[in-house]
Amino acid sequence: MSPMLIKRVASFPLLLLVVGAMILRIPSLFEPYWYGDEGIYLTLGEALRHGLTWYKDIHDNKPPLLYLLAGISGSVFWFRLILLFWHATTIVLFWDLAKKLFERRKEAVILSSSIFTLLTAIPLLEGNIANAEIFMIGPIIGSFLLLFAKKLTARKVFLAGLLFSGATLFKVPAAFDMLAVVSFWAILSFPQWRKILTVVKNSLVLTLGFIAPIFVTFAYFWAKGALNFYVNAVWLQNLNYVGRWSIPVITIGNLSFEAGLAFRGSILLLVFLLLVAFRRRFNKVSLFASLWFAFALFAATLSSRPYPHYLLEVVPPLALLLGLVSFGQERFRYLPLPLLFLLLSGLVFYKFYYYPTFSYYGNFLAYAAQQKTQEEYFLYFDSRVPRTYQLAEKISSKTAPTDRVFIWGTEPEVYALAHRLPPGRYTTAYHIRDFGGEEETLAVVKKTRPRYIIVVEGEESLPGLQSFLEENYIHLETIMGAQIWRALGPNIVKVLL
């Protein structure tokens, strides 16, 4: 740690939070390969080490920074260890932001920081998993720290833009957090034209800082001949991703309407207009926290999907609002309460689910006390975990690191654990289907003829794959519903024909 970071942590409550968060994260270091998305990230990281170019040679639809961290880590353990220290730094940043906003109200600082630490460390919202959201909130908080400096300079605004860009290069919805601060500036300046000009100037500098790193990624993938793949996967296909989930319908009497993106955008606009109309009733802290919360909630519900880790983006402003409601100035403390009702409504309406917490730690303690075998410990996470390890061991022992293996199913953890790559661009069957890659994938499989092909029973079939297997492969065995096929030599194929 840097001397400045050590000085920050020297505050006893903050030290307690950082150490507590690290302790809460210890079980995550011993989790098996079970979480599908982490398997995808690590497989793309493996691809980088093999010299492949993301999006062109191997596909996923997230920006590149998460894959870069996965490539550096190389395994679930190291990925989670990086996250442990990243999260500790994020806690320090949040503490500093809370101190800056709440000033002398130490109770509000401690409460909001405690809520933030707990909700981002435990499995409830997948805080234990190395997803993009848990990484991106650190740069976002760092940006706000710069923008709330006593003397705001163009350099600090530009640096804040760089950090917002870094957060967005983990996951695109982080850009909405930047819109929150621009909206905050706009409301504070309205209707004073001189201040509005300052807002325009600062917004331009912020945007310049935001665009610069993204432009660098465009230049990099252009140099790699992958710009079109990058733009489509990260910036265009995500628009389709937002619309692919079933849209909830609201029914009031005989009136029914879809609660899609336009509906959520209308609510965000309404909140913004109400904050403009009643801006004189808010102080700066309550106004900023309310705006940040509204934009973060919109970003978290952007796709209508109920995944818990999406809500991690909402946790920082939520923690500030709860600190404000509990210990803020009497005149302003209850103003954000309607926003908390909005959150509860969203949780129920979009049916967000959560992961159990107490049983998670109970499972780890039982394993640590040798009251559970490793297999029993693994089974807590997913019944497929033993199969994942058996398949990975089989592949690792029968193939070379440069050999490609094709898995028709949703088993990216096998690729990650075995340190092998698929023959084509896609790591899962649902990616192949969602992005229309059936013909492309089958053509690559036929061309490269991977030594081993695994077909997971119960998965919707890939057209043409079964006949190709029967003509060119031999079925060796089935492990817990996963068929293992081995390529026949050309001479054997001729004899059989």
Question: Considering the domain boundaries, does residue 66 fall inside one?
Answer: yes
Query: Hey, what are 316's tokens?
Result: 């920082």
Band of residue 234 on the pLDDT scale cut at 50, 70, 90: very high
pTM for the structure as a whole:
0.92
Band of residue 497 on the pLDDT scale cut at 50, 70, 90: very low
pLDDT, position 327? 87
Band of residue 251 on the pLDDT scale cut at 50, 70, 90: low
| Residue 158 lies in domain | 3-30+61-349
Cα–Cα distance, 46 to 52 (Å, whole number): 9
Q: What is the pLDDT of residues 357-411, one digit of tens each?
A: 999 999 999 999 999 999 999 999 999 999 999 999 999 999 999 999 999 999 9
| Same-domain pairing of 448 and 300 | no
Across 430-447, average pLDDT? 94
| Same-domain pairing of 345 and 460 | no
Q: What is the pLDDT of residues 174-208, one digit of tens each?
A: 999 999 999 999 999 877 767 788 899 999 999 99
Query: Hey, what are 147's tokens?
Result: 């923008």
| Same-domain pairing of 303 and 191 | yes
Q: Residue 346's closest CA among 238, 248, 244, 240?
A: 248
Question: Considering the domain boundaries, does residue 354 fall inside one?
Answer: no
Q: What is the pLDDT of residues 306-336, one digit of tens each?
A: 999 999 999 999 999 999 999 877 777 788 8
Q: What is the pLDDT of residues 255-267, one digit of tens each?
A: 555 667 888 889 9
Question: Considering the domain boundaries, does residue 364 fall inside one?
Answer: no
Pairing state between β 452-456 and 405-408? parallel
| Same-domain pairing of 472 and 338 | no
Question: Considering the domain boundaries, does residue 53 fall inside one?
Answer: no
| Same-domain pairing of 26 and 175 | yes
Cα–Cα distance, 414 to 417 (Å, whole number): 5
| Same-domain pairing of 325 and 456 | no
| Same-domain pairing of 442 and 337 | no
Cβ distance 414 to 388 under 8 Å? yes
Question: Considering the domain boundaries, does residue 355 fall inside one?
Answer: no
Number of structural domains in the chain:
2
* The total number of residues written for the chain in this structure: 497
Cβ distance 355 to 28 under 8 Å? no
